[in-house]
A and B are shown apart, each in its own frame.
Chain A
């Protein structure tokens, strides 16, 4: 029964995606929706991403410094560890998981409320391709803006590590900069951005699926928002493993 329901969900998800990627009726209206979603889902997440990145960068630096308190190990290893943790995993994966909660629940509850208040039916009666008009701009907005958020997160994470690491005397500024430059692999940035784009698609499309097919009222909208966050987080973690195996394995 459980497996049957999952298979049904997967089938309906792909049918929805087929409806989403249709030729827009009116590019101008889609553009307006895209700009609105870019602001709602992307720009409005900047503050949260900035604060979390700054402090997690600081915590990673402090914890690494405490674990490397050994005169044989050069201090710049602290910066290397901070850089690798933030670029490879914290920014692309952890920030995407946080966005799955923030953006995913926003998308699922917005679409769910539109469904139960007949706004989606109103679009369909007008002849609007509702799935495409409502979901495509959200996917485009997140796929385009999330990599920018992640780059900002990487930058602020490392800045946070630098500020807190140097101000507490755990590492000197020179050692930190030196550590950031040693063994730097540019491909890791590409790997992180590829993951981010895939995660952005996973978060928006799965959340949209749960919101678009809500049946019932306010309780069901809440339930489906929770399901959207849980499902997109699980798929994100699974995709993270697969992409890591494919790109770094």
Chain B
């Protein structure tokens, strides 16, 4: 579980995160939603330690980030997996080398063990016969799945995904969402997903946090989203006619 307490982040005079409290539960897909510029990505990067927090704290299963030494933070990073918006696969490495990279860098496993673990992760995300291809030679959906395989190869306790299905067609986006949810439950990971895809919210949103202007103004499950009275959330989630119909149908049940 990750517990965030009153975190603030400023860039010069720009106050991006204005005291966010949130809890991300283990074995659940925890979503952060909000409009562009609401602070979602900065929030995620603060959790990952890419940005230093100005105030507040993050608690990773009883380990407060403010009390960690640099070495402790480095060790914590080995427990984090991250799927970037653009996949962020290393261009010069093959699919197999990308997935095995953290194992080769941080473990003393034999080549055989590394190959076994790499193939297990690639099979888990349904990638076959692509081990020796380069990222530029595979589709966007496959790149996302390889990125997921790389993120889980070290058996992380925490998985972070920044808009994992952006730029994908609806069907592939759904496959990626389902894959992340399955992996979260199967490996009992605390997963935090940053998205503004409403299909994702209604499909895999075990716990949803809604950010507006650097503040969290609402939280609940995907079912709560359907029945919310919060006008800002409703305007954001149900902006299209299709989603308005979905909401009306859900509320009339």
Chain A interface residues (CB < 8 Å from chain B): 25-26, 28-29, 36, 113-114, 117-119, 121-122, 124-128
B91 touches A121 (CB 8 A): no
Contact partners of A126 in chain B: CB under 8 A? 77-78, 82, 101-102, 105-106
Residue of B nearest to A127 (CB): B77
Residue of B nearest to A128 (CB): B105
Residue of B nearest to A119 (CB): B88
Complex A-B, nearest 7 residue pairs according to Cβ-Cβ distance, in ascending order: A127-B77, A118-B88, A122-B88, A125-B82, A118-B84, A127-B74, A119-B88
Binary contact track B175-206/A, C-beta < 8 Å → 1, others 0 = 00000000000000000000000000000000
A124 to B85, CA, bound (A): 16
Q: Does B19 contact A (CB under 8 A)?
A: no
10 chain-A/chain-B pairs, Cβ below 8 angstroms: A25-B105, A36-B92, A113-B91, A117-B86, A122-B82, A124-B50, A125-B48, A125-B50, A126-B106, A127-B78
Q: Does B148 contact A (CB under 8 A)?
A: no
Q: With contacts A124-B50, A125-B77 known, is A119 near B106, CB below 8 A?
A: no
**Among B90, B102, B160, contact of A119 (Cβ-Cβ < 8 Å):** B90
**Among A28, A36, A118, A125, contact of B85 (Cβ-Cβ < 8 Å):** A118
A26 touches B88 (CB 8 A): no
Q: Does B109 contact A (CB under 8 A)?
A: no
B106 touches A26 (CB 8 A): yes
Q: Does B32 contact A (CB under 8 A)?
A: no
Chain B interface residues (CB < 8 Å from chain A): 48-50, 74-75, 77-78, 80, 82, 84-86, 88-92, 101-102, 104-106, 160
Contact partners of A117 in chain B: CB under 8 A? 86, 88, 91
Main secondary structure of the interface of B (DSSP, over half): mixed
Contact partners of A119 in chain B: CB under 8 A? 88-91
A25 touches B80 (CB 8 A): no
Instruction: Determine which residue in A114, A119, A128 has the highest number of CB atoms from chain B within 10 A of its CB, and name it.
Output: A119
Contact partners of B106 in chain A: CB under 8 A? 25-26, 126-127
**Among B75, B77, B104, contact of A26 (Cβ-Cβ < 8 Å):** B104
Q: With contacts A26-B104, A29-B104, A29-B105 known, is A121 near B90, CB below 8 A?
A: no
Q: With contacts A36-B92, A119-B88 known, is A125 near B105, CB below 8 A?
A: no
